[in-house]
């Protein structure tokens, strides 16, 4: 089941929110994002539909799962002879937007502690 369809996004945002060929993937990414965030799929709420429409628009623009340079701790800009310095949080690292999308798709099966080892127990 999906939170939002291409037709619903077209109805809410108009048909020009994205190229026709980009719409199905954008809507799929919006639905996957909502699923990964734990939004209940069985709730019929207009706010979820609206959020899905705007998430679809972001996905079509490439900003829903955009590449990240990491978490910025501080940034310094010097105007004369142009100088820019950026410091990142300790342990922060760049993450590709596609990897963020993949993590959301696989969230139900990924260990929240980052280990690839799972503990299985008998019932």
Kindly tell me if the per-residue pLDDT of 116 is higher than 60.
no
Kindly tell me if the per-residue pLDDT of 69 is higher than 80.
no
64, 58 in Cβ contact below 8 A? Answer: yes
Task: Work out the average pLDDT over 68-93.
Answer: 69
Name the residue range of residue 47's domain.
6-61
Question: At 83, is the pLDDT very low, low, confident or very high (cuts 50, 70, 90)?
Answer: confident
Kindly tell me if the per-residue pLDDT of 119 is higher than 60.
no
30, 3 in Cβ contact below 8 A? Answer: yes
Do 57 and 76 fall within a single domain?
A: no
Kindly tell me if the per-residue pLDDT of 48 is higher than 70.
yes
Q: Residue 66: its pLDDT value, please? A: 76
Q: Considering the domain boundaries, does residue 81 fall inside one?
A: yes
Kindly give, in sequence order, each residue whose CB lies less than 8 Å from that of residue 5, ignoring residues fewer than 6 positions away.
27
Q: Residue 30: its pLDDT value, please? A: 93
Answer whether 0.85 is exceeded by the pTM.
no
Q: Considering the domain boundaries, does residue 121 fall inside one?
A: no
Do 52 and 99 fall within a single domain?
A: no
Do 45 and 15 fall within a single domain?
A: yes
Q: pLDDT (tens digit, 9 = 90+) per residue, 8-27?
A: 999 999 999 999 999 999 99
Rounded to the nearest integer, the mean pLDDT of the chain is 79
Q: Which tokens hold the place of 119?
A: 């503990």
- Helix, strand, or coil here: 55? helix
């Amino acid at each position: 089941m999906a939170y939002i369809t291409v037709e619903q996004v077209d109805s809410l945002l108009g048909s020009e929110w994205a190229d026709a060929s980009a719409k199905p993937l954008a809507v799929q990414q919006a639905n996957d994002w909502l699923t990964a965030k734990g939004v209940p799929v069985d709730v019929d709420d207009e706010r979820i539909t609206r959020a899905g429409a705007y998430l679809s628009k972001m996905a079509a623009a490439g900003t829903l799962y955009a590449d990240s340079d990491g978490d910025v701790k501080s940034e310094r800009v010097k105007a004369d002879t142009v100088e820019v310095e950026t410091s990142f949080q300790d342990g922060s690292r760049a993450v590709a937007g596609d990897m963020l999308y993949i993590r959301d798709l696989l969230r139900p099966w990924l260990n929240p502690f980052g280990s690839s080892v799972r503990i299985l127990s008998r019932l």
